[in-house]
Structure 1
């Protein structure tokens, strides 16, 4: 039911196919997991098919190793008319223990679309807890910073 589940956690084991030449899970695999969790969260909130409009601020803080249990948590932090801003955290650790360390975090914006691929309205998310209010305020500040960055990027010459 749309508008009721504002977060999701995907859990799985990091596999040998996810490893880079340095023996750790490569960033592309982590970014794929982030996109999957973002989609699941946004589709669950909106009740609609969603597409990724933006992924940014990604920070790789610690490595993930083959055999680690990986938890990718996506949570709605702001909704626009057709978009959902999601805070994403990736944590990992030894599956034999309960300790998980933060490995990656970022912001993802998903847009709900109709059968023709046009943006369609989503239920409004209203923060309740102090943490949710803080996350919403952060999302609004980041929106403003992205506008400024976009302006600067447009004036910057590209190759």
Structure 2
């Protein structure tokens, strides 16, 4: 078996069908690209089919214009038994200039599953560089924050 692939970059051209009424790429198109990159990254790491368990902290920093070259970078920053926390960054530019600018960033949690939809064990990722360790620690902090948010959100489920 080959060693797991920790990161991936997908590229798209923003098409007229991706545009909202304001003339910019709509958030749903960006979220779809994020989900595709998170899937490709998690499948590359785990060697398994993966499903989205959580997408959060999505920050739309700048608009994307039709015709832009969009680059979605994804990398594993934490692994659990079957889950992978994927950090994603979306950059866009005019394909003629290639002056990229950050447009969106977020964290997505993916879970590796078998053919019956049951979670399966994945390879552990061990951070080595200083930046990897920092990202890994951030992922752990975000897990605690998500837990608290989940508890607070129960009011909507129970009503």
Residues in 1 aligned to 2:156 and 2:43: alpha-carbon distance in whole angstroms: 35
**1:55 paired residue number:** 55
**1:33 paired residue number:** 33
**2:21 paired residue number:** 21
Unaligned runs of 5+ in 1: none
Residue 10 (str. 1) matches residue 10 (str. 2): yes
Report the Cα offset of residue 78 of structure 1.
0.1
Aligned positions, number: 159
TM superposition outliers: structure 1 runs of 4+ over 2 Å: 1-4, 155-159
Task: Map Cα deviations across residues 95-140 of structure 1 (whole Å, 9 max, x no partner).
Answer: 1112100000000000000011100001001111111111000000
Q: More displaced, 127-136 or 31-40?
A: 127-136
CA 1:138–1:2: 2 relative to 1, 3 Å = farther
Residues in 1 aligned to 2:41 and 2:157: alpha-carbon distance in whole angstroms: 36
Residues in 2 aligned to 1:2 and 1:114: alpha-carbon distance in whole angstroms: 19
CA 1:83–1:2: 2 relative to 1, 3 Å = farther
Residues in 1 aligned to 2:14 and 2:144: alpha-carbon distance in whole angstroms: 36
Residues in 2 aligned to 1:65 and 1:156: alpha-carbon distance in whole angstroms: 36
Report the Cα offset of residue 94 of structure 1.
0.7
Residues in 2 aligned to 1:119 and 1:156: alpha-carbon distance in whole angstroms: 27
* TM-score (normalizing by structure 1): 0.96
**1:146 paired residue number:** 146
1:7, 1:74 within 8 Å by CA — same for their partners in 2?
Answer: yes
